[in-house]
Structure 1
């Protein structure tokens, strides 16, 4: 595991519900038992998780990390808010962008990089319901075309 990037969990709903504009890599402040839980591939859930900037610091809310089974001390709250480690200029830039209408910060994935836990966060804009429906229609059409090409019914 030393060296490369080892993905622990991915937020699959993010790309379906948001248009990703920019991505950032951030460190995350965790307790020892949380890191052990991540190494043991325990449950990680991004449901309703988001990033908020408060008093010049970035915080990750509602990221669920299942408690480590063999922890000797009382495990921390699995959905507690966790501090993200970003450069000051990145935080200021994100703060300016988030104040614009419609922009939000969401976590995309959590992974190990050089034995440190990192979170990929994205500056995103929420998709409207009709955008998602249109995307699904296009996906179905592509799938149907590929099926017809494969079966030989449609000739180019």
Structure 2
């Protein structure tokens, strides 16, 4: 029997605050051995300024920081190097068509293990404006206040 467990290593917390998520995709990622060991060891992963770019029909993940594995015997790879994403050609072409429209970008949402393989969940996203974020915060505050009032009313 195969394990179908998913184990999330890291999650991009800022993505939902700064972007409106349109579609999500699951992609494999090409890593070196010490990077996989670092992820299994739950070492630091940072999504700060990370994004996906499509070049020559291939998807590449930029600026995803994976802390070097401290027990690596060989020279560890650059923690911010660009990494190839494994997607179907149809998915890449669809993403390329969407990204060429104004305002769309591709961002990583989370890094996780699935069936022993490292996967990255990427999303086609559109950046939120400042007023959109303020409106979202205002709505959340109003909802919280209403729940508080209902609780006190009972």
Normalised TM-score (structure 1):
0.95
Within the alignment, does 1:26 sit opposite 2:27 as a pair? yes
Give the Cα–Cα distance (whole angstroms) in 2 for the partners of residues 79 and 139 of structure 1.
35
Unaligned runs of 5+ residues in structure 1 are none
Q: Report 1:81-100 matches (<5 A).
A: 81-100=82-101
Unaligned runs of 5+ residues in structure 2 are none
What residue in structure 1 maps to residue 137 of structure 2?
Answer: 136
Cα offset, 1:92, TM superposition: 0.8
What residue in structure 2 maps to residue 101 of structure 1?
Answer: 102
TM-align CA RMSD? 1.2
Deviations 1:73-98, CA, capped at 9 Å, x for gaps: 01001111000000111111111110
Q: Report 1:1-156 matches (<5 A).
A: 2-152=3-153
Cα offset, 1:18, TM superposition: 0.7
SS in 1 for 2:79: coil
Cα offset, 1:151, TM superposition: 2.3
Cα offset, 1:2, TM superposition: 3.3
SS in 1 for 2:14: helix
Cα offset, 1:144, TM superposition: 1.4
Q: Name the count of aligned residue pairs.
A: 153
Cα offset, 1:146, TM superposition: 1.4
Give the Cα–Cα distance (whole angstroms) in 2 for the partners of residues 93 and 123 of structure 1.
10
